[in-house]
Amino acid sequence: MRKLHALGAATHLLLISLISLKAVSQPITTPRTPSPAASVTQTIGISSVIVNYSRPSVKGREIWGKLVPYGLNVVPGGNGTPAPWRAGANENTTIKFSDDAMVEGKPVPAGLYGLFFIVNQDNTAELILSKDNQSWGNFFYDPSHDLLRTKVQLREISFTEMLTYDFINSTKNSSELVLSWEKKQFPVKIEYDVDKIVMANAAAELKSAKGFGWQAYTSAANYAAQNKTDYDQALKWADQAVTMNKSFATLNVKSNVLKGMGKTEEADKLVNDAIAIATENELNNYGYQLMNNGQVDKAIEMFILNTKRFPKSANCFDSLGEGYVTKGDSKNAIANFKKSLSMDPPANVKANSEKFLKQLGAL
């Protein structure tokens, strides 16, 4: 029994030794050189574009037509298929679209793709998006996996030592992905149908826990109204919000939806209903909303109404003063700012009234 026990202990010690040796043999994590990994992300609406790549440097080398050959070329050590440039170094450069997109005017489904370029001598290039996103560089490129091929016009830029991806010229619905290296820039326009994506996402979120609160329906309807899209769906959401909580916020949003649908009379009635039940802050914010939209007289009307409803609020008179400043009525502006200061206002309101009185030369 003792011998068996000793043998078992020896075996156990041997296993520990082997495991320890294996652990010791593992290298530590060190920086990647000479082409460090990098990633760049751009949000467009609520969607994203992510590019992962490695960054080679020029290092005095001749890049175009030499280090990066023109056209398709067989890469030594690969599968023997003529391949495009891997648009970076090391592993496959990849690009990920969170939603269906348009790339250079062509549809691309949401997903992760390998990113390549065929560089031409005439200062153009051909962008390739490959469904094969896991191959090492371009060594195993297979044209049968191509999802998209489209030509782009290159730009001359100032010298860039390290290959860099970036996003420029962003708008509500689009952004331009640019690869910059040496003295060339490769631009790729990427677009999302932002309103469609936001509306679809809203419909999905309203089926989650968010759908139990009136605020989510209100924000969804408000987005549609502000962006002039899918009014029919927006009206359903606005109605649901009003059913759950009849308030200034919900009635005002429904009014904006109706106004967008051309139902002005019904919209105006709802605004009046909303104003009738508005809190001090809601009416004050509504006044600023009107003022920012250029409806200064209507804004002043709301501010005056607020001073009547809440005559002890210094902030109401301060806001009315701002309304008159915007209109160019210095006399009434000064009177209301002084009224605000006479009411021992909170520090922020006091500072605002004093600021405007100084600007108007009345303090």
175-217 pLDDT tens trace = 999 999 999 999 999 999 999 999 999 999 999 999 999 999 9
Supply the pTM of this predicted model: 0.85
Residue 157 CA to residue 164 CA, distance in Å, equals 13
2 — pLDDT class (breaks 50, 70, 90): very low
Does the pLDDT of residue 302 top 90, yes or no?
Answer: yes
pLDDT tens digits for 240-258?
Answer: 999 999 999 999 999 999 9
Residue 77 has what pLDDT?
87
Does the pLDDT of residue 16 top 60, yes or no?
Answer: no
Does the pLDDT of residue 24 top 70, yes or no?
Answer: no
Residue 363 has what pLDDT?
86
Residue 4 has what pLDDT?
43
Residue 8 has what pLDDT?
54
DSSP string, 137-161: TTTT--GGGEEEEEEEE-EEEEEEE
Amino acid at 63: I
Residue 10 has what pLDDT?
53
Residue 87 CA to residue 177 CA, distance in Å, equals 13
Residue 316 CA to residue 330 CA, distance in Å, equals 17
Residue 110 CA to residue 102 CA, distance in Å, equals 10
Lowest mean pLDDT among 46-55, 62-71, 135-144, 266-275: 135-144
Segment (H or E) for 129: strand 124-130
Q: Which domains are present in the chain?
A: 37-192 (no CATH), 195-359 (1.25.40.10)
Residue 7 has what pLDDT?
46
Distances in whole angstroms, Cα of residue 334 to Cα of each of 211, 322, 344: 47, 10, 16
Taking the CB of residue 218, how many other CB atoms lie within 10 A of it?
23
pLDDT tens digits for 130-148?
Answer: 999 998 889 999 999 999 9
Residue 303 has what pLDDT?
97
